[in-house]
Each structure stands twice: as structure tokens, then as C-alpha cells.
Amino acid sequence: MNIGTKIILLSIHIFFIPLIFIVVLFSRLKSFLFVQNKINIFLGTSPIINFSNYSVIIKQLGFFTKTFVTHCFIINKEEDWDVIMTKRMRFIIRPIKYFLYFIYVLYKYDIFITTYRGLFIGSFPFGRFQFNYLKYAGKKTIVIAYGSDSYVYRRISLPRISHCLQTNYGPAAKLQNLIAKNLDHITQIADAVIPSIMYADGFGRWDILTPCPFFLDLNSWITSKRNNNANGIDGEVVVAHSPNHRGVKGTEYLLEAIKILKDEGLKVTLKLYEGVPNEEIKKDFANNVDILVEQLNGYGYALSGLEGMASGLPVISSDQDNIYVEPFRIWSFFDECPIVGSSCLRLVKDLRHLIMHPNLRIELGKAGRAYAEKYHGYDSGEFFFSNLFDYINGKRESIINLYHPILGEYPNRSPKIKHPLVNNRIVDKSR
């Protein structure tokens, strides 16, 4: 963004400040003078499909909610969202349109669930101060990070993570100071902070300790009935991978591993899903896939790994025995997770073992589905948000131990998920 553009955007911001504060005043008066019968909840504006799922869950809790996004990704459907900004008020230039919408939602909504990019004006100069406007108006804010909105590369503990992010998102390395300012300011002022799949690296704050705050409509993800008994010798094994962020996901190492295993004589096929609609992936996972390799350089699991588990597939993700994951074993439910922890350096060995042991694949697939049902269905989402709303409204002092394996109510509502992995590593009993 050049200096001229910054000056124009800042001038527009200054122009709208008096109107913003009028709305802030009216919002405050409304909260004092009227008893609200219904809480309105805003979700947006980054087009992350989890927000669409959140909206469904929150409506099931009895709230009014609407999703606002700047645009729609090709892998999603437009009907996933209530309002797509590129399709609204096309005759008005984007900065003015965004400020007008910000003023509208500032008055109408009571709870704002967003990312560190915030609402419509988050990418504009001093856009982070929108969180101050929300606070002055008596609104509540829940910030759920997703990646490029809040990663400060110099704060990342593992060099491999920083390297992979620079492979995929190099320009963000030049914005570290700006991202850090936004992160620190918003982390301090928000009513609740959920670091999502980033494990709070450099945040300094988290209100719920969960390895992954994503939830799926599990009825729409059919458990695989494939039960393929092929072992790579007597029959073919199909491996799936979604390489939307190749550097982070280590796609080149998966391609190399498949080549090595084929050269060894194993019958293995790799299916890559790049820019493929979710509906097509659902059908393939249920009928044509035996193993999902999510990613090899990050940690934990994200939406792709969760979808694989929901489909009853064994899932390989990156090293699960590191400094990031340990707190989630001790104070959350990650120890129940049946994902195979691997890496770029161990992938050939781990993939070979899964290919050659169909019974292990089936056992891990069943455990994965059970894990998804326990922690990532819509009922789990209702528990998550009802406690989160109680917290930001002062009905709960803390939710830091919400998923504690001993103190937490939720992990103990049903038996622990059993699986044959030790610290997410395959135990080779043949040795």
C-alpha cells in the first residue's frame, strides 16, 4: 500500500469518526434504556468456512446470527455466507462501503466473532482501533485466529514453521511490525482470544486451551465403508492430500515418498485435491481413499485432518511430539487424538507401515471417527460457544480448564478415545 493510498484511507477514516461515535453513543443509550430480548451475533469478515459452521451452531443455541465476508473462495459455495461484500453496493468505492457497513453492524450486533483482521476496515490504516469502537459501544468481541492475520514470524518458536510460512507467505515477513501491533493491541482489548490451530505462538494469551476449535456437521461426512484390505502388495492403497499450502504441508516430500515406495514395488496411488469443492472431497473420502496425509511441517491438525477423521480415514500429520503439542496433552484432550505424527524425514517409514498394515488403518479410522464425534460435532460446538458466551458475559470467571482431562467436564462425559499410537507415533510390534 503506497503512501498516497494510506493518506486517502486515513482521511476517510477520520471523516467517519464523528458518525462512528454517534453510533457508539446510541448503542450505549440503547443498552441502558432497553432490555434486549434477543442477542445478535456477527461473524466475519474473513471467508473462513469455520465461520459458516459456527453460524449454524450458534443459531441452534437460539441466537440471531449473520455471516459477513469480503469474498467467497472457489472451494466454497456462495450460499455458505449470508452477505458477500463484493456483491453489495457495487456502485460505492470499497473504503466508503466498508465504513458504512461497519457503522451498520456496530449498531445492530451485540457480540462480534472475528479474526485479528477484524471487521470490514481491519486492513485500513489504524484499522485495529475498530476494536476500541466496539468496546466503547459496549459490544463483546471474540477473536479466533487463523494464520496470516496474527502470525509474527520472529516470535515463532520452531524455525521450520517460520521457514515454511516464508515459503508460502513471504511478503508477510515484511509486515511483521504491523501484524505485531495489531496482535498485541487486539489481544489486550478483546473479551476472548482463541488462538485456533496456531497454539498461541507469540500471543501471550488464550482463554480456552483446545488443539482445534473447528466443528463439522458430522451427518454430512459419511464414514468410509471401503475397509480396503490391500497391503500394497496384494492390492493398491490410495493416499489423499490437499496441497493448498504446499510449503507448510510439505507436499514435495509426500511426492518423493510415493515415488520411493513405488520404486520399492508397493502398489500405491496419490490423489491430490487442489481447488476441489468440498462436496467432491466428501464423496472421494467415503469411497475411494485409504489414507489422508494432511501436512508435514506444521503441528496438530486443521480442517483437512478433521474431515479425514470424520470420514473414518487414518490421518498422517506432522510431528505431534514437540513443544507445541505437550500443553494440549496435559491440559486438553489431544492425548485422545489418533492422528499419526510424522515428518518430512520419517514419512516414508510411517507411510510404508500404514500401507502394509490394513488392520491398523481400519483401527485408526474408527478411532478417528469416534474422536471427531466426541470433540468436533455440532453438539461439541454448542458446548464450546455456550461456555464462551457465559465467560464473556461474566457468568464464568474462567474457561481455561474447559477441556482439562481431569478437571474438565467435557472430556469426561464419555470414555476416553482408545487408539494404538503412543504419543501419536506408530509402535512397530514386529521389532
Backbone angles phi, psi at 255, to 5 degrees: -60, -40
For residue 15, the surrounding DSSP H or E stretch is helix 3-33
What is the per-residue pLDDT for 72?
84
Cα(379)–Cα(390) distance, integer angstroms: 17
Alpha helices (H) along 169-316? 176-189, 246-249, 251-263, 278-287, 303-310
Ramachandran sector of residue 267 (left: φ over 0; alpha: ψ -120 to 50; beta: rest): beta
Considering the entire predicted model, what is its pTM? 0.94
Domain with CATH 3.40.50.2000 in the chain: 218-375
Query: Quick one: pLDDT at residue 144?
Result: 96
Residue 131 and residue 189 in contact, taking contact as beta carbons nearer than 8 Å = yes
φ, ψ of residue 87 in degrees (nearest 5): -105, 5
Residue 358, pLDDT score: 96
Tell me the angle at which helices 347-356 and 358-375 cross, rounded to the nearest 10 degrees: 100
Q: What pLDDT score was predicted for residue 143?
A: 97
Domain range 218-375, its CATH number among 3.80.10.10, 3.40.50.1390, 3.40.50.2000, 1.10.8.100: 3.40.50.2000
Pairing relationship of beta strands 315-318 and 340-342 according to DSSP bridges: parallel
C-alpha to C-alpha distances, 30 to 22, 38, 110, 390, nearest whole angstrom? 12, 13, 11, 22
Three-state SS sequence of 128-173: HHHHHHHHHCCCEEEEECCCCCCCCHHHCCCHHHHHHHHHHCHHHH
Q: What is the CATH number of domain 7-29+37-198?
A: 3.40.50
CA distances to 12, 327, 364 from 405, rounded to whole Å, are 50, 11, 21
pLDDT string in tens for the chain (431-residue length): 788 888 889 999 999 999 999 999 988 887 776 666 789 999 999 999 999 999 999 999 999 999 999 988 877 788 899 999 988 988 899 999 999 999 999 999 999 999 999 999 988 889 999 999 999 999 999 999 998 899 999 999 888 888 888 888 888 899 999 999 999 999 999 999 999 887 778 899 999 999 999 999 999 999 998 888 999 999 999 999 998 778 788 999 999 999 999 999 999 999 999 888 888 999 999 999 999 999 998 888 999 999 999 999 999 999 877 888 899 999 999 999 999 999 999 999 999 999 999 999 999 999 999 999 999 999 999 999 999 999 999 999 999 999 999 999 899 999 999 999 999 999 876 65
Cα–Cα dist 13/109, whole Å: 21
Q: What is the pLDDT of residue 35?
A: 64
The string over 186-198, giving b where at least 16 C-beta atoms fall within 10 Å of a residue's C-beta and e elsewhere, is bbebbbbbbbbbb
CA angle 70, 73, 78 (to 5 degrees): 75
What was the pLDDT predicted at 297?
Answer: 87
User: Looking at residue 417, what is its pLDDT?
Assistant: 97
What local confidence, expressed as pLDDT, does residue 245 receive? 77
Instruction: Compute the distance between CA of residue 427 and CA of residue 357 in angstroms, rounded to an integer.
Output: 12
